[in-house]
Amino acid sequence: MKQHLNFLKLLISGMLLCWHSWGFASAWVDPSILHRLAIDSSNERLQAIQALGQSDMPGAARLLAALIESKVLVSSNGNILVTQEGKDVIDIASGDQVPLSGNEQPLMLNNRLRRAIQLSQATVALFATDASVRLSAAIRMQKEIDSSHIPTVERALQRERDGRVKDAMQIALAGMQLKSSDPQVRLSAVNMLGTSGIGDYRPALVSLLQKDGAGMFAEPDERVRRAALQAINQIDRHQSLISWAGNIFFGISLGSVLLLAALGLAITFGLMGVINMAHGELLMIGAYATYMMQALFKSWFPEWMNWYLIAALPVAFLVTALVGMAIERTVIRWLYGRPLETLLATWGISLILMQVVRSIYGAQNVEVANPSWMSGGLTVMGGLVLSYNRIAIMIFSLIVVLTVWLILNRTRLGLFVRAITLNRRMADCVGVPTGKVDMMAFGLGAGIAGLGGVALSQLGNVGPDLGRSYIVDSFMVVVLGGVGQLAGTVVAALGLGAINKLIEPFWGAVIAKIAILLLIVLFVQKRPQGLFAPKGRSVE
């Protein structure tokens, strides 16, 4: 038993020793490839790099990585050496650590060789143990219509067991088989590419239908040409579908942003009748509160940096709510029932807030980075990328809407707000503290604007003029949805966002904005109460 344990210890020690020598001892590279790589000739080195790409040895992937990182040396006797961390140098042929003689020369690469290395890394990655790495490599290979890689892809296909990776490899293989000498292989490849719907293959399929100076088609087989025309139509339909789906997604995303920006205004303007021109600056304050939380986490809690955005939500809400209540108590409480004076006063407040921010943070924009869990996107339909930050904002806006609905319909504050909205004088007569409720409701609307600022900080840079971009759109959403109507605000925000993004591809962003404004003016002329008519004596 003891002998077995000693043998096991020796075995583990040997494995660790091989691991620390960078793994080349157990993963040999073809000596002929190393010989060509050592020759000071671009053509010889190109052939060696291409051979490494067609090799399924683990050492090939490591050597390619060393080449791209400029860690490869050529000794005076033609050996290929790889530098590691510190001063360790590995002889790839033997896997042993060797001393430097001082005569080694770095292996020089030009742009042509670097591009070949990147492609070879993709082909080698087809044999990686991680399925996601193989999938990324297969997608990378789809962009390379090079028939020389057909044997490598076919060999990888024979080993592949993951369905998604296999489909991606088959599409890549079909793109390479467009130049096959067998018409049946070309026909099968064209059909596969048409089914894939990938737009990158459209130029290659169009080239099959082109004629030379003598009037001869580039593709001699008529069946392949008919299939190529059908495949082009399939790709066009699929790309059109992706475009429409993308416009709808970005329209709903824009609608979610408008909803967050307009939701607080729906309370201050819709329920309280206050034309608050400083609402955009409350969005800005929420965005700057997010920036401050990012700076705080970066300095004091760097290990929790991914969660600074969660901490910014209550901070932004509280800060903007306090600012909103201060504005209501000091200015707006004296101007109820006087809309023109309220408009002018809040416009002056907006200018003051912008100047305060410029004095503290400067006139330049500041950057608020996305947490890692909001970076990147989800690829659907073979080409449409749904960014995680926009998906998160859409979900967040729905949560905020649900929370506001619960506050207005399931809390004492909401009951008082609805009572004041229906009949302020009667509510005051039965003991509702209208002054306190006005302050709390205004603070709630301002706090929601702060949450909107948190969301906006994840879509672009934060600056003193951030709120001006959304104040007009927010008023349009509230007026179109119906003054004081939460459901109308939701429908109007999402509807305007979707319509705007659907019009933009045809008329451009400026004309789309003008067209939407004209539609709202015409709609309000026919239906002044908006989509959802308000109720109560305040309507009179």
Q: State pLDDT tens for residues 362-418.
A: 888 998 988 888 888 887 877 788 889 899 999 999 999 999 999 988 889 888 888
Confidence label for 8 from pLDDT (cuts 50, 70 and 90): very low
State what percent of residues in the chain have pLDDT above 90: 20
Q: Which residues contact 409 (CB under 8 A, 6 or more apart)?
A: 418
Q: Which three-class secondary structure string do you get for 70-85?
A: CCEEECCCCCEEEECC
Q: State pLDDT tens for residues 86-122.
A: 566 777 766 677 777 777 778 778 888 888 777 777 7
What angle, 0 to 180 degrees and rounded to 10, lies between the N-to-C axes of helices 111-124 and 58-68?
A: 150
What angle, 0 to 180 degrees and rounded to 10, lies between the N-to-C axes of helices 279-300 and 434-457?
A: 60
Q: State pLDDT tens for residues 191-222.
A: 998 888 888 888 888 888 888 777 788 888 88
Q: State pLDDT tens for residues 157-188.
A: 888 888 888 888 888 888 888 888 888 998 99
By the 8 A CB rule, do 33 and 51 touch?
A: yes
Q: Which residues contact 540 (CB under 8 A, 6 or more apart)?
A: none
* Alpha carbon separation from 487 to 90, 148, 274 (Å, rounded): 68, 60, 20
CA-based nearest residue to 125, from 156, 88, 148 = 156
CA-based nearest residue to 64, from 24, 7, 100 = 24
- Which sign does the torsion angle of CA 298, 304, 310, 316 carry? negative
What is the C-alpha to C-alpha distance for residues 325 and 446, in angstroms, rounded to an integer? Answer: 8
Domain extent listing, the chain: 2-113, 129-220, 241-539
The whole-number pLDDT of residue 18 equals: 41
Confidence label for 440 from pLDDT (cuts 50, 70 and 90): very high
* Residue 462 DSSP class: B
Q: What CATH number belongs to 241-539? A: 1.10.3470
The whole-number pLDDT of residue 434 equals: 83
Q: Report pTM.
A: 0.73
